[in-house]
Amino acid sequence: MLTRIMKWFSITALMAAMFWRPSDGYGVLFQFVVSVGAILVVVQAVQARRYLWGIGFLSMAVLFNPVAPIAFSRQVFVWLDFACLAMFAISFAVLKTRPLISVTGIINPGRRIESL
């Protein structure tokens, strides 16, 4: 659930950065949100054994790193924002978390019961 929320926050931050030229303070905040969202998607991708997606989102986390930012021209940054926005949107369909198994399902593995 946290990953899904951070994906939506990251999409919102990327859209805001594309259509609105943020000041330095907001720009760092947007970079932080996108970077944390990308790191959470990396964890989700590794758990789903989708390593190529993990590498893509890890590179996104490095590009939007607020500690050591990488400078791009405005035109390159808009295309990069659009590509990252598309990656986050596609990740909703490709990377889905499996529901947790309840205690009854753990005790009796032949009977798979999902958690409420």
Sequence-ordered list of residues with C-beta below 8 angstroms from that of 61, at least 6 positions apart, any chain: 35, 38, 39, 42
pTM, entire model: 0.72
**58-86, pLDDT tens digit by residue?**
999 998 888 888 887 878 888 888 898 88
Give per-residue pLDDT as tens, 3-28.
Answer: 788 888 887 887 777 777 766 667 78
Q: Tell me, what amino acid is at 58?
A: L
